[in-house]
């Protein structure tokens, strides 16, 4: 937007940078897109490069910030007219997450320096690339070392939220469920899953030799009711409830690596637009079924749940929290929400695994491509006819059948 060239916007940047580095003069700045096709569906993300001058030191330096905007146009405008995911993320980044970080002594999210709704919705965040954080490969999924970091981080996040909720019950209403909430009429997520289930059934019929015939036999008669079962995964509270991340997958996290060994040593979570008060089982199933590579999914499933619980339990113990949920309690939350694991595997994973060259290139069209029925049919045909996707879901589907998930 033209606003990014305005003196008002330059003043905001100068104020933020002066707070960070002392009094500076912003000599020039430029913007470019910070995400690729398929990485972000609800927002537009820019990296702004800033050339600064410090008068007291008679020297200059360059740095970067992240701008995340949400234009109220097209299908995004329809969605945000009723469900304000921008305000949800602002509330998470500027209100809740700082409390959670202080409680757990852990950094969960990038710093948010500025948030406004005028002249349009945008926020300015720290650029984690300056600290050598980077995105992992969403097409292939991550190994056990990466996944352990995510489990530790989300375990601490969930635990910290429980402690903070005990101190302030208004967090429950501040983070009410947005999508699938009966009080809202927005059908974006309904359309996403409906289109996904339809395409999944079609690929099962086309590739019958790749999957057990039992899978199609059990799913086909239930096709129309799958969406209602998925809604229950979100709408029904668990026996243990937390503030969830809400969209825990690889495009929403950045990893830092040891310079000598190359091993991952930390992860920061991004995109808190749809976190809500509910069962932690949804976050766990979402991550496992969108972000693990096949070997890790098959060999380390239970190990990762133990890593999650150890971080969760340790955080609550340090906070002297009474009545800490047991491992069985938390494993029960995971098992109770496993249908969401199937749903995101069937409707979300094929999109996650699309090569960037095949993904919709225009930021404004990415959301439309997965929820509009006609556009989605073309888009998903490409996504589902991906041999890597078909190979990756063979074992999960076998597992879901053994669990009698569709009975």
CA distance 279 to 107: 22
The answer to whether the beta carbons of residues 274 and 247 sit under 8 Å apart is yes
Domain boundary among 16, 43, 69: 69
Q: Any idea what the CATH number is for the domain that residue 176 is in?
A: 3.90.1200
Q: Is the pLDDT of residue 330 over 50?
A: yes
Q: Are residues 230 and 316 in the same domain?
A: yes
**Residue 168 domain-assigned?**
yes
Q: Is the pLDDT of residue 108 over 50?
A: yes
Q: Is the pLDDT of residue 221 over 70?
A: yes
Q: Any idea what the CATH number is for the domain that residue 34 is in?
A: 3.30.360
pLDDT of residue 40: 58
**Residue 121 domain-assigned?**
no
Q: Are residues 47 and 97 in the same domain?
A: no
**Residue 379 domain-assigned?**
yes
Q: Are residues 36 and 172 in the same domain?
A: no
How confident is the model over 235-263, as a mean pLDDT? 97
The residue segments making up the domain with residue 32 are 2-69
Q: Are residues 64 and 93 in the same domain?
A: no
Question: Which of the residue ranges 1-5, 32-36, 377-381 would you say has the lowest mean pLDDT?
Answer: 377-381
Q: Is the pLDDT of residue 282 over 80?
A: yes
Q: What is the pTM of this model?
A: 0.94
How confident is the model over 34-57, as a mean pLDDT? 83
Nearest to 180 by CA among 98, 286, 278, 92: 278
Q: Is the pLDDT of residue 139 over 50?
A: yes
Q: Are residues 208 and 140 in the same domain?
A: yes
**Residue 229 domain-assigned?**
yes
Q: Are residues 82 and 52 in the same domain?
A: no
- pLDDT top residue among 41 and 338: 338
The answer to whether the beta carbons of residues 184 and 91 sit under 8 Å apart is no
Torsion angle of the four alpha carbons 230, 235, 236, 241, in this order, in degrees rounded to the nearest 10? 110
Q: Are residues 44 and 61 in the same domain?
A: yes
Q: Is the pLDDT of residue 361 over 50?
A: no
pLDDT of residue 366: 58
Task: Provide the pLDDT confidence category of residue 1 given band limits of 50, 70 and 90.
Answer: confident
Q: Are residues 79 and 37 in the same domain?
A: no
**Residue 361 domain-assigned?**
yes
CA distance 234 to 240: 14
**Residue 127 domain-assigned?**
no
Give the rounded percent of residues in the chain with a pLDDT score beyond 70: 91
Report the domain count for the chain: 2
Phi, psi of 17 (to 5 degrees): -70, -35
Q: Are residues 64 and 79 in the same domain?
A: no
**Residue 119 domain-assigned?**
no
**Residue 268 domain-assigned?**
yes
Q: Are residues 279 and 386 in the same domain?
A: yes
How confident is the model over 222-239, as a mean pLDDT? 95
What residue has token string 């104020």? Answer: 15
Q: Are residues 11 and 83 in the same domain?
A: no
pLDDT of residue 158: 98
Please provide the average confidence, as pLDDT, over all residues in the chain: 92
Q: Are residues 175 and 324 in the same domain?
A: yes
How confident is the model over 315-330, as a mean pLDDT? 97
CA distance 279 to 367: 26
Task: Provide the pLDDT confidence category of residue 357 given band limits of 50, 70 and 90.
Answer: low
pLDDT of residue 74: 65
Q: What pLDDT digit, counting tens, does each position of 170-181 carry?
A: 999 999 999 999
How confident is the model over 321-330, as a mean pLDDT? 97
Whole-number Cα distances in Å, 155 to 20, 309, 336? 31, 6, 18
Q: What pLDDT digit, counting tens, does each position of 143-158 carry?
A: 999 999 999 999 999 9
């Amino acid at each position: 937007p033209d606003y990014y060239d305005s003196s008002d916007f330059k003043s905001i940047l100068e104020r933020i940078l002066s707070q960070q580095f002392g009094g500076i003069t912003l000599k020039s700045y430029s913007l470019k897109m910070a995400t690729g096709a398929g990485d972000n569906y609800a927002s537009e993300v820019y990296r702004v490069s800033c050339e600064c001058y410090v008068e007291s030191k008679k020297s200059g330096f360059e740095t970067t910030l992240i701008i995340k905007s949400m234009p109220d146009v097209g299908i995004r405008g329809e969605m945000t007219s009723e469900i304000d995911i921008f305000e949800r993320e602002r509330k998470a980044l500027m209100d809740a997450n700082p409390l959670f970080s202080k409680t757990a002594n852990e950094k969960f999210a990038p710093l948010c320096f500025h948030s406004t709704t005028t002249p349009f919705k945008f926020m300015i965040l720290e650029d984690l690339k300056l600290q050598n954080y980077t995105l992992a490969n969403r097409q292939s999924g991550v190994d056990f070392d990466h996944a352990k970091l995510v489990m530790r981080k989300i375990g601490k996040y969930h635990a910290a939220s429980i402690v903070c909720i005990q101190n302030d019950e208004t967090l429950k209403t501040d983070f009410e469920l947005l999508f699938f909430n009966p009080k809202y009429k927005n059908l974006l997520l309904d359309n996403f899953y409906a289109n996904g289930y339809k395409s999944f059934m079609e690929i099962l019929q086309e590739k019958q030799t790749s999957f057990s015939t039992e899978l199609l036999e059990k799913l086909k008669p239930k096709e129309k009711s799958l969406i209602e079962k998925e809604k229950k995964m979100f709408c029904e509270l668990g026996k243990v409830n937390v503030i969830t991340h809400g969209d825990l997958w690889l495009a929403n996290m950045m990893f830092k690596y040891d310079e000598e060994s190359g091993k991952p040593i930390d992860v920061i979570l991004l995109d808190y637009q749809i976190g809500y008060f509910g069962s932690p089982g949804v976050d766990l199933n979402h991550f496992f079924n969108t972000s693990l590579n096949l070997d890790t999914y098959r060999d380390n499933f239970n190990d990762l749940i133990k890593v999650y619980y150890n971080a969760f339990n340790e955080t609550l113990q340090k906070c002297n929290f009474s009545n800490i949920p047991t491992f069985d309690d938390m494993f029960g939350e995971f098992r109770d929400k496993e249908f969401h694991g199937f749903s995101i595997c069937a409707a979300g994973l094929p999109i996650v695994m699309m090569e960037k060259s095949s993904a919709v290139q225009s930021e404004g069209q990415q959301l439309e491509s997965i929820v509009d029925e006609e556009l989605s049919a073309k888009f998903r045909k490409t996504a589902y006819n991906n041999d890597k996707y078909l190979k990756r879901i063979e074992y999960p589907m076998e597992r879901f059948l053994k669990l009698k998930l569709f009975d």
